[in-house]
Amino acid sequence: MDFEKKNITDLKESFSGMSKFTDEMKSEMERIEIKNRKDIEFLVRSFYNKVRKDELIGDFFNSVIGSEENWENHFQKLTDFWQTNLLNEQAYKGSPMQAHQKMDKETGNQIEQEHFDRWLKLWKETVEELYIGERADRAYSNAQNIATFMLLKMKMVRN
C-alpha cells in the first residue's frame, strides 16, 4: 500500500509541471489568424473593453466618446479602420489624426507618451491573447507606427 501511494505521489510530482505546459499549448491552440471583419471587430471590442477600464487612459476615451451609442459607432469606425489596414479592403472613411487632435484638445492637451505607451501595451496584449500570424504581427507594427506619428503630430499642432 505504501509503495502504491509513493508511486502515485511520484507520478503527480513529475506531472505537476505539465499543467503549465498544457495551458500554454491550449492558449496557443485557441489563438487564430485574423481572417475577416468579424475577427477584427472582436479584436477592437476586446481591446476597448480594456481601454475603457484602464486607470491611465480610460478617462480620455470615456469622457470624449461618452454614451454607449457613441461607443458602438466608435467600434464600427475602428473596425472599418483596421479592416482597411489588415485586410486591404477599403472600409474606413475619416481622419484618425483629426479625431485624436480633437480628443487631445477636449482633454486639455494632456495626452503624452505614457498614454500612447499604455494604449500600445493594451493593444499588443489583446492581439497576442487572441490572434497569431502575419496579420496579427502587422496589427501591432501598424499600431506602433500610428502611435508614433499621432503623438508627434499632436505635439506639433499644440505649438
Domain tally, the chain? 2
Same domain for 42 and 76, yes or no, is: yes
Instruction: Judge residue 51's burial from the number of C-beta atoms within 10 Å of its C-beta, 0-12 exposed, 13-18 middle, 19 or more buried.
Output: buried
Determine the 3-state secondary structure of 88 from DSSP. Answer: coil
Rounded Cα distance between 46 and 82, Å, is 14
Residue with cell 496579427: 136
pLDDT tens track, the chain, 159 positions: 555 555 555 544 544 554 454 455 445 558 999 999 999 999 999 999 999 999 999 999 999 999 999 999 999 999 999 999 999 999 999 888 888 888 888 888 889 999 999 999 999 999 999 999 999 999 999 999 999 999 999 888 887
What is the span of the domain harbouring residue 83?
33-158
Same domain for 60 and 72, yes or no, is: yes
pTM for the model stands at 0.79
Same domain for 15 and 4, yes or no, is: yes
What is the CATH classification number for the domain harbouring 129?
Answer: 1.10.490.10
Same domain for 67 and 125, yes or no, is: yes
Cross-strand pairs, 131:
32
DSSP alpha helices (H): ranges in the chain?
2-15, 18-30, 37-53, 58-65, 68-87, 96-106, 113-130, 134-158
